[in-house]
Amino acid sequence: MAKKKITKDEVLEMLKNYNGDNNYLINIRYLYLNNPSFSLTDSQIEYITSFSETKPKVARKWVELDSYYARMIADDKLLVNIPEKMWVEKLLVEKEKSYHIFGRFFENDKLNLYWIPKDAIVVDKTNKNVVVDFDKYSHRKPFKHQEEAIIKLLENDKFILADSMGLGKTSAAIIASIEAKPNKTLIMSS
């Protein structure tokens, strides 16, 4: 069944009655109520209809920014310095590939509204509680540096093992894949 198209008047009514915590919607509502010549854009209409029922998540924490995206953000926002992190006061909206954030890049900045690609935020995906019983590999026990490599491989979702030739990267990767119990494993070695 097709979704009923919402009229502009219905969107304006939604906006007028909005009493949530989304700072972007609060700003649009203020403009609508206090500026008689205010007119909604298509993207604002889409945002209102899509997210007026979405409750923002209060984060109040600094998150690390990917250095590549940090440079892009600095260029796009004409920032003098490249930000290394971002203060996320609230996560207003989460889309498939981006976040709408009420936050700031530097300690002394005012809080503002930003669309940030999800890839720009570095998520700590390490699993710090990795324990491996290396005794069960006694037929060919890994060396100490291989044990460290195996632990690193298991602790991280993404990790490049780039030891020098002959140090046992392949066997370390095989043991790590056995310990991780994945559905499929691809080990590339040259």
Return the closest-CA partner of residue 134 out of 190, 181, 75, 176: 176
Longest dimension (CA), the chain: 81
Query: Model confidence over 73-96: pLDDT tens digits?
Result: 899 989 899 999 999 999 999 999
Report, as an integer, the average pLDDT of 148-166.
82
Report, as an integer, the average pLDDT of 85-114.
95
- Residue 103 burial (C-beta neighbours within 10 Å; 0-12, 13-18, 19+): buried
State the pLDDT at residue 163: 81
